[in-house]
Structure 1
Amino acid sequence: MLISGPKLTRRLIIGAALSLGLIAAVACSGGSVAPTEAPALPTSTAPAVRATQPAIAPDLQRSDDSAGSATDAASGPKSGGIFNALWSDPPTLDPHLVTDGTSYGIVIEVFSGLVRLGPNTLNPFEPDLAESWSISNGGTVYEFRLRPDLKFSNGDPVTAQDFKWSFERAAHPDTASTVAEEFLGDIVGIQDIVDGIATSASGIEVIDERTLRLTIDAPKAYFIAKLTYPTAFVLNRNNVESLGKNWTDDPVSTGPFRLKEYRIGQRIRLARNDNYWGRTAYLDEVVFNLAGGVAMAMYENDEIDATGVGLADLERVQDPTEEINKDLVEVPPNFAVSYVGFNINEPPFDDPKFRQALNHAVDKQLIADQVFSNLVKPAYGIIPPGFPGYSPEIKGLHFDPELAKDLLAQSAYADPATRPRIILTVPGTGGSPGLTTEVVADMWRTNLGIEIEIQQVEWATYIQDLHRGRLQAWSGLSWQADYPDPQTFIDVLFRSDSAINYGGYANPKVDEFVVSAQTEQDATRRVAFYNDAEQLIVSDAAWLPLWWGVDSKALIKPWVKDYAFSSLTIAKFKDVWIDK
């Protein structure tokens, strides 16, 4: 959500997360604001913000000498060393509250759940704290068998009861999770907890210390995918209750790393978790620099070990005569869509013709060509190319300034004298709101005579206001898939009763399609439902989709081994090792 992300869960990711200047999404769902677009690491101090058919673009790992592949080192993986990254302060380290990619990227290294996303493109869901699971009763009962001798980072045992408490804690109104309903709401009884009329869920049963049974309200193909999101991660009850609201200052966890230090605005240090259930991490620590800086300069000064490559540096780093060229790697696009969002409950965005006019007034191809030098692809739909459910048949609202003028004239807000003031909110704390936002505003001004006010707000406030429906229109982020299923885009973002539907979009026919897709067991028919819903969403101009990412470039130090770039955000530092 990662936004993510994004990157708000599914994860949404913020624009500067790449030094590309691209908007990074999601997530996160839940959205990853899911959260958006950084292929691996944010490369500036702006936050990164963050879906079940296994059709993920393949991970790209280094395979030659200069890329630092693991096979190059005769001795094989070595324990020890520190990986240094440039990051920004996460809005939260509570897994049950994660809606952005900045938080998501830390949390998935420290905490874990029953299942996880892995790099296998044909079977992306891997056992994590659960060693196995079975599905019965027509796809409505999931029984998970936990691994033997599981421990939290402090040595406490992990049991099925810990999962029951964690799920119910995530859903409880006092936790104030904006994503628990979306990610856990399929479990029978969770909605009653969210609504404050129950404290336990009948659909969560502890059979014994190692066996957890979950009953969902209907067979849903994507349910197992939702359990990979941090909302479904297990917490240590004593840790949370004894430390209260400050428990994330010293969290007890189950991931390959534990939080060693967090100094706001300075650094986060993750240390190897020696009580991790599997092979422990090779790295001693992962250090995230939160103090800011110029990513490329920091990389060349050996202050950080990886960075995205921005337009200003692209030509130089691609020159084979440059020393830095040996560190260059290809990064697959992450599954995110950058967009301008509209609150359709607020004038003038309550008029479909006005929204359609804004869409037709923007030349996305020009933005891709001239602003991003074709490092992005114009988005005329929601689901990114290569993602399960993507359809090239979606008819988007293409650039047509004359049609845009006609639609504006037909709208209820044709007269600028009576048109409500338009405020487009972007994340930031000063300076330029971002070239893309400025270009879009200029196109609206030039092609329609529509003036807007661009307002910058601090990242945490931006995310909070987005969740609470306070923004009239917003930009500066993307939505990144949390898992490989079209549900993470079409259902989560546009179903009328979804907590992640930040713009309040409501179309009964879209609801009909996505609800049908929820329980449809035939994969082809299920995708068709999502495609039909997507076409309605695009035609209604619920958003102004801007672009999807394409393959990009990154730099990674030659001593860093087995750093896997992926189109989806997965925990990766456990396998990274240093050879120097």
Structure 2
Amino acid sequence: MRGLLAGALLAGVSQAATAEMVLNAGNSQEPESLDIHRSSGVSEANIQNDLFEGLLTQDAKAQPIPGAAESWTVSDDGKTYVFKLRADGKWSDGTPVTAGDFVFAWQRLLDPKTASPYAYFIDQVVNAKEIRLGTKPADTLGARAVDDHTLEVKLLGPTPYFLATLTHHATFPLSKANVDKFGNDYVKPGDMASNGAYMLAEAVPQSHVKLVKNPEFHDAANVKIDTVRYFVTEDVDSELQRFKAGELDYTYTLPNQQIPDLKQTMADQVRIVPYIGTYYYTVNTTHEPWKSHPELRRALSLAIDRDVMVAKITQGGELPAYTFVPPGMSNFAPWESKDAKETQSQRDAEAKELFAKAGYGPDHPLTVEISYNTSENHKKIAVAIGAMWKQKLGVDTTLTNLEWGTMQSALRKKEYKDFGRTSWIGDFDDPSNFLDLFRSTAGEQNYPAYANPDYDKLMDAAVVEADPAKRGQLLAQAEQLFFTDQPIIPIYYYTSKRMLSPAVKGWQDNVLDNHLSRWLSVER
């Protein structure tokens, strides 16, 4: 009897030791694309960060650490980087990761035919901007494979944030042999070769993306989770119910109206953390009345009561935003907008004056359209803003709900009518990551189609400025000029808002809200 019991216990231990460890993650909208060069959303980046690894990667606190490169050196003038790739770096098909794969991927990123929304992201590399604008050939890029394990990168000037950019999916490598074989279908399960901690196993539209552990990953021995399932969870109320039912280990966000109650009833599982991101409305300046009337754009911005918005609508500890660059970013000369110093009554009074100056009023009413991607939270914000505009300025507002991919396409192609709901989440801790979006040459992610030569000059001067203090001042001047023109309406600075199961271990709160699955475990 004792022998049978011991055998049963040993069998139980063996079964537990070999049980699959699964992480079930809420991931908001349907991924636009898993192509690292054709996506721009957070839901896609969450998956891509598990599938691929750049020259640098992020630790559990989202700090840059060695990734596909085990080391690097920087020239005295800060303009030349030499990266040494890991000797044991492999693609999931067992072939080696080479410096040539990085060169290939960066050239593909810049190729105008790729039409990447992030093509501008490596403009600091010699000739990158000219290549993406089609004025120089791809082989002039300031990135070359010295040999299979050595990548040399030349920059236009010293760039203090350059290493941090290399943790972003736009700079990840692609297996040239694999893309040559499958073309754009390399993103399909069974066709994709990835060099990160996981491989793509399934991608079921409007359902989930399933990843499985990559045995070829250089640190596979320390990856604890075997399977990660990213679930499409656009409906925030349904997502919360799935979490409560134990179907999700963490949520993408929270329903705003339920946050106060959740803080009371499930406080140990609520995670609300500062997040370097800005929620804003972009204005389509490609047509009238927005093209020639900055005073009209400013009037509608002033009429939004941001204090009411964060206190009554979002309820997640967000801060009212009157500028685009979030507070506390490094390498910046902080400045305070005049609007932030005034009372809402003062802002409303100026809004009415500017609205009348633009020629609008009871005898010439204004009707506008707000487009937003599917989310009850986005809808509530749009309804509140429309009500404020109606009450204070007599503006009639129509709301248009679009699916994520359709909304992204409308923003990039400037096909939204008046205002488009969007946001920018910092990829790294430097204001250029926010302000580069609005260069006249930025491309598709310049959603308002903003173009001011003086703004471009300030941003160009910041690129080559070696003195950090002077560079910060140039960037601040650029943002002040930008808000003189008012091509966007900032609304609030984000916090990340999630439910997190106690079963998830290794989670580290961070302002980028990045949580690579390789650092986590699940103990049910």
Please report the TM-score for the alignment, with normalisation by the length of structure 1: 0.79
Aligned amino acid, residue 175 of structure 1? T
2:374 to 417, 428, 432: 428
Q: Distance in 1 between matches of 2:465 and 2:521?
A: 43
Q: Report the counterpart of residue 124 of structure 2 in structure 1.
A: 186
1:562 to 506, 509, 514: 506
| 2:21 is aligned with 1:81 | yes
Deviation at 1:515, TM superposition (A): 1.8
2:461 matched to which residue of 1? 516
| Larger helix fraction of residues | 2
Partner of 2:337: 394
What percentage of aligned pairs have identical amino acids? 27
Quote the offset at 1:469 in angstroms: 2.1
CA distance in 1, matches of 2:205, 2:111: 28
- Out of 319, 342, 352, which is 1:405 matched to? 352
Match of 2:494 among 549, 557, 574: 549
Report how far residue 134 of structure 1 moved. 1.3
Question: What is residue 23 of structure 1 aligned with on the other side?
Answer: none
Q: Which residue of 1 aligns with 2:425?
A: 480
Structure 2 residue 114 is the aligned partner of structure 1 residue 175: yes
Question: Cα distance, 1:467 vs. partner?
Answer: 1.1
Amino acid across the alignment from 2:56: V
Return the alpha-carbon distance in structure 1 between the equivalents of residues 497 and 79 of structure 2: 43
Q: Which has the larger radius of gyration?
A: 2
| 1-structure distance, mates of 2:58, 2:429 | 9
1:330 offset after TM fit, Å?
Answer: 3.6
- Shift in Å at residue 365 of structure 1? 1.1
> One-letter code of the match for 1:173?
P
Q: Distance in 1 between matches of 2:23 and 2:509?
A: 15
Closer/same/farther in 2, CA of residues 392 and 295 from structure 1, 3 Å limit = same
User: 2: CA distance between counterparts of 1:482 and 1:78?
Assistant: 37
Whether the 8 Å contact between 1:152 and 1:158 is mirrored in structure 2 is yes
Secondary structure of 2:396's counterpart equals coil
Offset of residue 103 of structure 1: 0.9
Verify: 1:300 aligned to 2:244, yes or no.
Answer: yes
1:310 aligns with 2:255: yes
How far, CA to CA, are the matches of 2:75 and 2:143 in structure 1?
Answer: 15
* Partner SS for 2:139: coil
Give the C-alpha shift of residue 433 in structure 1: 6.1
Instruction: State the secondary structure of the residue aligned to 2:476.
Output: helix
Deviates more, 1:196-205 or 1:244-253: 196-205
Q: Aligned residue for 1:203?
A: 142
Alignment of 1:449 with 2:394, yes or no, is yes
Matched residue SS, 1:97? coil
- Contact 2:282-2:421 at 8 Å conserved across structures: no
In structure 2, do the counterparts of structure 1 residues 419 and 434 end up closer, same or farther at CA, with 3 Å as the change threshold? same
Structure 1 contact 151–277 (Cα < 8 Å) conserved: yes
Amino acid at match of 1:170: L
Deviation at 1:577, TM superposition (A): 1.0
How far apart, CA to CA, are the structure 2 residues paired with 1:315 and 1:481? Answer: 27
Cα gap change, 1:251 to 1:526, in 2 (>3 Å):
same
1:348 paired to 2:348: no
Q: Alignment partner for residue 410 of structure 2, among 449, 465, 469?
A: 465
Kept in 1: contact 2:157–2:465 (CA 8 A): no
Structure 1 distance, partners of 2:385, 2:427, is: 28
Aligned to 1:149, what secondary structure does the other structure show? coil
| Inter-CA distance 426–415: structure 2 relative to 1 (3 Å threshold) | same
CA–CA separation in structure 2 for the residues paired with 1:82 and 1:572: 14
SS in 2 for 1:471: coil
What does 1:63-462 align with in structure 2 at a 5 Å threshold?
80-87=20-27, 88-118=29-59, 124-136=63-75, 138-180=77-119, 182-196=120-134, 197-249=136-188, 250-280=191-221, 281-290=223-232, 294-307=238-251, 308-319=253-264, 322=265, 324-325=266-267, 327-350=268-291, 351-373=293-315, 375-388=317-330, 389=332, 391=334, 393-396=336-339, 399=344, 400-411=347-358, 413-414=359-360, 422-428=368-374, 434-462=379-407
**CA offset at residue 568 of structure 1?**
0.7
Task: Give the CA deviation at 1:318.
Answer: 3.1
Q: Deviations over 1:353-405 (max 9, x none)?
A: 11111122111112122223463211111111232237253333653222111
Partner Cα separation in structure 2 for residue 544 and residue 316 of structure 1: 30
Cα contact 2:60–2:516 (8 A) shared by 1 = no
Gaps of 5+ in 2: 1-16
Are the counterparts in 2 of residues 85 and 287 from structure 1 also a CA contact under 8 Å?
yes
Please, what is the CA RMSD of the aligned residues? 2.6
Give the partner amino acid of 2:313: V
- What is the rounded CA distance, in whole Å, between the counterparts of 1:188 and 1:200 in structure 2? 11
Closer/same/farther in 2, CA of residues 433 and 140 from structure 1, 3 Å limit:
closer
- Aligned letter for 1:84? N
Deviation at 1:476, TM superposition (A): 3.1
Q: Secondary structure at the match of 2:449?
A: coil
Q: Which amino acid aligns with 2:50?
A: E
Give the number of equivalent residue pairs: 493
Distance 1:493 1:195, change over 3 A: closer
1:129-182, Cα deviation, whole Å (9 max, x unpaired): 0111112262221111111121001101111111111111222233221222x1
Q: Is the 8 A contact 1:150 1:158 kept in 2?
A: yes
5+ unaligned residues in a row in structure 1: which ranges?
1-76
Which residue identity does 1:464 align to in structure 2?
S
Distance in 2 of aligned mates of 1:531 and 1:458:
35
Worse-superposed segment, 513-522 or 229-238: 513-522
Q: Is the 8 A contact 1:424 1:474 kept in 2?
A: yes
- Once residues 262 and 397 of structure 2 are traced to their aligned partners in structure 1, the CA distance between those partners, rounded to angstroms, is 38
Task: Quickly say closer, same or farther: Cα 1:111–1:265, change in 2 above 3 A.
Answer: same
Instruction: State the AA in 1 paired with 2:97.
Output: V
Change (3 A) 1:259 1:418: same
Whole-angstrom distance in 1 between the partners of 2:94 and 2:300: 57
Q: Give the structure 1 partner of residue 3 of structure 2.
A: none
After TM superposition, give the deviation of residue 85 of structure 1 in Å.
1.5
Deviation, structure 1 residue 496:
2.5
Deviation at 1:529, TM superposition (A): 1.6
Shift of 1:220: 2.5
- Cα displacement (A) at 1:553: 5.3
CA deviation string 1:281-311 (max 9, x = no partner): 1001011223766122211211111134434
SS of 1:298's equivalent? Answer: helix
How far residue 483 of structure 1 moved from its aligned partner, in angstroms, is 0.6
